Amino acid sequence: MREDLAQLGDAALVVAIARWRQDALAEAYRRHGGAVFSLARRVLAGQPGAEDVAQAVFTALWDHPERFEADRGSLRSYLLTLAHRRAVDVVRLEQRRRGREERASDRAAAPYDLEHEVWDLAVASHVRDALARLADNERQVIELAYFSGYTYREVAALLGQPEGTVKSRIRTGLLRLRAALADAGVGE
């Protein structure tokens, strides 16, 4: 059976992959795996992960062979495009991770600022007091949306209330919160 796959063109090979023929995927890998891996390794420029990129590309081909359109280009160019995109994503993720680590390191290395810490505690105290003065329904929706991280729609579903009502309560509550903080000398 392997011999007949070797005779197939790439478009017919993808049709065989779409029919869940593992040997067809193996043939596609035999033909194009080296190029995919080489491109991934070149884009990653020494970072680990070229094998993972190559695996992801061929897994994508296995999972979604219908995405390959023979009239738009060759299978090799399609797979290399997938590899390039995936490798660039890996590079970008690594850059963002490094940036987060550098920022965290910079914050950790910053000298302890007692005055700033006291100010933050005072502001937090004013915010807690202002929140306590809000009506229960306003405080509840603000706490869910801003402190628990729910969307307006999720808050509405949790409380069994219309989304418009939740939005109105949040807006009204935030306006009252702003006024209470301004009265306390915090804010604008």
Nearest to 39 by CA among 89, 93, 82: 82
The pLDDT score that the predictor gives to residue 125 is: 86
Nearest to 31 by CA among 45, 48, 17, 46: 17
Residue 116: other Cβ atoms inside 10 A: 10
Q: Is it the case that residue 180 has pLDDT exceeding 80?
A: yes
Chain-centroid distance, C-alpha 72: 29
* Least confidently predicted of 109-113, 137-141, 179-183: 109-113
Q: How many angstroms separate the CA atoms of 180 and 128, rounded?
A: 11
CATH architecture of the domain covering 114-183: Orthogonal Bundle (1.10)
This prediction's pTM: 0.56
Q: Do 57 and 83 touch, CB atoms closer than 8 A? A: yes
List, by residue range, all CATH 1.10.1740.10 domains of the chain.
2-107
For range 80-108, the mean pLDDT? 90
Nearest to 130 by CA among 74, 173, 67: 173
For range 42-66, the mean pLDDT? 95
Query: With bands split at pLDDT 50, 70 and 90, how would you rate the model's confidence at 1?
Result: very low
Count of CA atoms in the C-beta half-sphere (13 A) of 40: 24
Q: Which fold has domain 2-107?
A: Rna Polymerase Sigma Factor; Chain: A (1.10.1740)
